[in-house]
Structure 1
């Protein structure tokens, strides 16, 4: 029988203290009652299609929408974990403002309408991890900002190291193993965040500037009435402003008109409902304010590129 002996990669035991803690943990391991009955996993799905990238002051113009509002607000089917390494800014998710600074991260879930605000002109570095996963740890299913727990940055560094290995950079992990290790590392990072990351409340609406405050207010109004299309008069009345003021200020804040914004949110909500399952296409159409399944299917396919019957499969 061949025996394989390897040196432990440096990232695993980074200091004498780590070695000492490992030896202490080893001594505390109990004698097993059965050598064939261990701790079983509770979930089979792991993160996949993992991408890491960074955003710094050089990307501020496109992120904050200066000169290019079409890129500010985004909806897609990926999970996004954003961690601030340097600099404070705001991530607006589904109409709620979340302050992200060093020591905090935000998880944006699929089909959530999000954009960025008040990004610093310098001293700004955020790491983005985007991925697919069938089922998040239960504690993370609402997304939101969290304080990063102890050990989070160490695991994030290990994740970046493995990702660079997969991209051909030098690393302790072989490139042909990097895909699997990357998935395991991210699963560990998410579990750590779920168990130790304390949720941070969204920022008060009163702290937002006038145009942005109006955008978030309209978002809340539309979200509370997904089952019907609201007129400009109705939205203005609920927001407490005139129709003319609403139209001009809202387009400035959102980079699109009220009609398109409302339709976008309803189609985003429809995608979330279809992904979760339990509703027919007709039921989803009704829940999202369309008169007929046919008109809903046509609008859905035009927006998402796939018919609702095939969505989420």
Structure 2
């Protein structure tokens, strides 16, 4: 590549206008970047079933072993060589992988200009050799001694990865893996019950009775299937439902509290503050920023 530089330089023409060059649309330059990996299906499931909602982007690259991502109420099956970007505050869990031995690379970051990344919503992507090359460079920068210059280059590398991925986005809905149909059905049954109930009045006994199973057996089945407690999953789900209502600015917090089954807006405010550290109004500003 370097040997081509002189010939490419000689081929350049004189600009017709010295004030109009090539421009690009608004872009997201990642900041506060964290890169890590998940090496077992159990770690992947446990971490996300118990994770609180957050304002960070989660960029996932599947390097080994197919698995399913459940985002909001849709499922996307990721095979090696595929990935997905989860947007801030999206409710997501990883209910299953084909095998326990996995290698998923995860890049999380913040972004002051998130609008360009909306096109990733609900889409999976494939990543080719050129993107793998950029990911390799990004990992080398991330694992090197931290310096301001390397941090800046790392941010630009991840921004370049995002730009390269855009032409590769595609709709991808999962087909449940045969071996895990029971766990998929369990999660579907639980979410059906949750959608029909007030988030604050979810009753474990009622849920178990609806599923024709004892409460202890339900808790055990959930932990066996997903490596996490059912209670943690329910708390996570409740908060995401509340967030969907908070995002809708057509309704005030008294109306939202009533629709979600809270006795009053003060109780609703305490619930949101306890879960997020913010009042509903502060949290709404973060959600619609």
Shorter-chain TM band: 0.7 to 0.9
Partner of 2:218: 249
Change (3 A) 1:227 1:252: closer
- Number of residues paired by the alignment? 278
CA contact (8 A) 2:59 2:86 kept: yes
C-alpha deviation, 1:228, in angstroms: 8.1
C-alpha deviation, 1:193, in angstroms: 1.6
Partner of 1:37: 20
Change (3 A) 1:152 1:46: same
Partner of 1:89: 67
CA contact (8 A) 2:122 2:171 kept: no
Structure 2 residue 36 is matched with structure 1 residue 53: yes
CA contact (8 A) 1:79 1:108 kept: yes
Q: Tell me how far apart the structure 2 counterparts of residues 190 and 310 of structure 1 sit (CA, whole Å).
A: 30
C-alpha deviation, 1:235, in angstroms: 6.1
After TM superposition, the score normalised by the length of structure 2 is 0.75
CA contact (8 A) 1:148 1:198 kept: no
CA RMSD of aligned residues (A): 3.8
After TM superposition, the score normalised by the length of structure 1 is 0.70
Change (3 A) 1:43 1:288: farther
Higher mean Cα deviation, 97-106 or 46-55?
A: 97-106
CA contact (8 A) 2:52 2:236 kept: no
C-alpha deviation, 1:104, in angstroms: 0.4
**Which of the pair has the greater relative contact order for Cα pairs under 8 Å at 6+ separation?**
2
Higher mean Cα deviation, 86-95 or 105-114?
A: 86-95
* 1:230-241 alignment, distance < 5 Å: 241=211
Q: Tell me how far apart the structure 1 counterparts of residues 148 and 120 of structure 2 sit (CA, whole Å).
A: 32
Q: Tell me how far apart the structure 2 counterparts of residues 292 and 229 of structure 1 sit (CA, whole Å).
A: 14
Structure 2 residue 106 is matched with structure 1 residue 125: no
Structure 2 gap ranges (5+): none
Residue 182 of structure 1, aligned match among 154, 158, 169: 154
SS in 1 for 2:53: coil
Q: Tell me how far apart the structure 2 counterparts of residues 206 and 289 of structure 1 sit (CA, whole Å).
A: 38
